[in-house]
Amino acid sequence: MSEVGTFGSSPWYRSLNGAQWRALVASNLGWTFDGFEVFALILTVGVALHQLLDPSQYPFIPAYAGAIIAITFLQSGYPIGSILASGVWLAIGTSGPDAWRYMYLIGVLPALIVFWIRRNIPESARWEESNRRRRAAYDLRRQGAPLKGEDAALVRFTLVDVFAEPAVRLRLFLTFVMSLSVTIGYWGVSTFVPSYVGSVAAAAGLPAQRYAALVGLVQNLGALIGFSCFGFLADAFGRKPTTMLFYLMCLILTPIIYLWVKDIHVLLFAFAVYGFFIQGVFSWTPIWLPELFPTRMRATAAGFIFNAPRLISAIAPLIAGTLIVSLGGYGKAATIIGLFYILGLVAVPFLPETKGKPLPEADTLSPAR
């Protein structure tokens, strides 16, 4: 987003060509469908387990649900797909005991969009240029020429290259900690939102399934606004202060939501605000993360930071489910898991501000000319 804000005064959407619009639509659809599938699981797992388990096992459902969600992609898109999933579940959730099965059937259909993405989305021009330089470096090596500087870096295995430069290693470590913080915080807490709100509704004599779907809807509406606002806030005030604000609000709101708010209607509104921050905070990864690494390793670094923490954070729903069972409720368990946002708050100040700066290139972290 920085280049649009720096080099042009017209609205960002007027600077996009046809290929860029297709890439934007395709990536959004990918998140949408991924979000539908994963949030469908979150919405239906309680109902499904009640149907599949013996009643004597019901007290352990939070632990079982945590185990199931821990082994799902390890990362989900959101929030449009989550809104769709909530809307579909709101419509069919009371249609019968097998309604949860139809949710998964619907989730299969969007896979057909992959064929369109494969055919119509081009590679990045920056990546194409980096790949051209990589091929040239390989040619030099085959000719026996000594390789120095960027040429030597280009022929290294990219994952090794990411760890080869001290400045890159530091950024890799800090962003890894930040990513681990948000994934553990989110999966360990939001996984149980529908079940938690359903239990509050049931205690008030209200239909649990309806309110579980409603909270998914309002939380993800808040998340949609949070995702959209993060980029504009980051362009206006900077990547670093915006990211710190979202981490701080996640840390503050978790105990407020789970320990202090008891009225079901206030709780629905509170989860809309909660979704704005706890899901919106993920926006630092597509906005700030790519601006921290040179093109030759940008995709590898982003992929590593985005996915490696999920191998660890997959245990978060397991831990949260166990804590809910052992502590006898959601509030204390969510508050304990929410403390992981402190890790992100500590790491953010040590990263450079990249607002308005060109993407780094070449064999150093200096901006491209």
Confidence category of residue 75, pLDDT binned at 50, 70, 90: very low
Residue 366 lies in a domain: no
Binned at pLDDT 50, 70 and 90, residue 5 comes out as very low
Asked if 92 and 58 count as a contact pair (C-beta separation under 8 A), the reply is no
Same domain assignment for residues 7 and 144? no
Check pLDDT > 70 for residue 56: yes
Domain boundary, last residue among 140, 155, 170: 155
Judgement on whether residues 71 and 167 belong to the same structural domain of the protein: yes
Confidence of residue 296 (pLDDT cuts 50, 70, 90): confident
User: Helices 61-70 & 315-327, crossing angle to 10 degrees?
Assistant: 170
At 139-179, the pLDDT tens digits run 878 888 887 777 777 777 677 777 877 878 899 999 999 99
Same domain, yes or no: 231 and 252: yes
Q: Is residue 355 one of the residues assigned to a domain?
A: no
Give the number of other Cβ atoms within 10 Å of residue 161's Cβ.
20
Helix runs in 121-207, H state only? 125-142, 149-154, 158-164, 166-189, 193-203
**pLDDT for the residue numbered 70:** 56
Separation between Cα atoms, residue 341 and residue 335, nearest integer Å: 11
Distance CA(215)–CA(213), nearest Å, equals: 6
- Rank 12-21, 58-67, 181-190, 343-352 by mean pLDDT and report only the highest: 343-352
User: Are residues 61 and 142 part of one domain?
Assistant: no
Query: Whose CA is closest to 66, among 303, 337, 276?
Result: 337
Would you say residue 207 has pLDDT above 80?
A: yes
Position 238 confidence tier, pLDDT thresholds 50, 70, 90 = very high
CATH number of the domain at 329, please.
Answer: 1.20.1250.20
Residue 236 phi, psi (nearest 5): -85, -45
Q: Quick one: 88 and 205 in the same domain?
A: yes
Considering the domain architecture, whether residues 310 and 300 belong to the same structural domain is answered as yes
Determine the structural domain holding residue 323 and report its residue range.
2-122+156-350
Of 62, 67, 107, 64, residue with least CA distance to 88: 107
Q: How many CB atoms lie within 10 A of CB 242?
A: 26
Specify whether 231 is located in the same domain as 341. Answer: yes
- pLDDT, average across residues 102-120: 71
Asked whether residue 362 is assigned to any structural domain, the reply reads no
Rounded Cα distance between 291 and 286, Å, is: 9
Question: Is residue 357 situated within a structural domain?
Answer: no
- Looking at the fold, whether 92 and 163 belong to one and the same domain comes out as yes
Based on the fold, state whether residues 139 and 201 are members of the same structural domain.
no
- Report residue 25 as tokens: 């639509």
- Does residue 186 share a domain with residue 163? yes
When divided into structural domains, the chain yields a total of 2
Instruction: Kindly tell me the sign of the dihedral angle through the C-alpha atoms of 288, 243, 167, 367.
Output: positive
The pLDDT of residue 1 is above 70: no
Three-class secondary structure of residue 124 per DSSP: coil
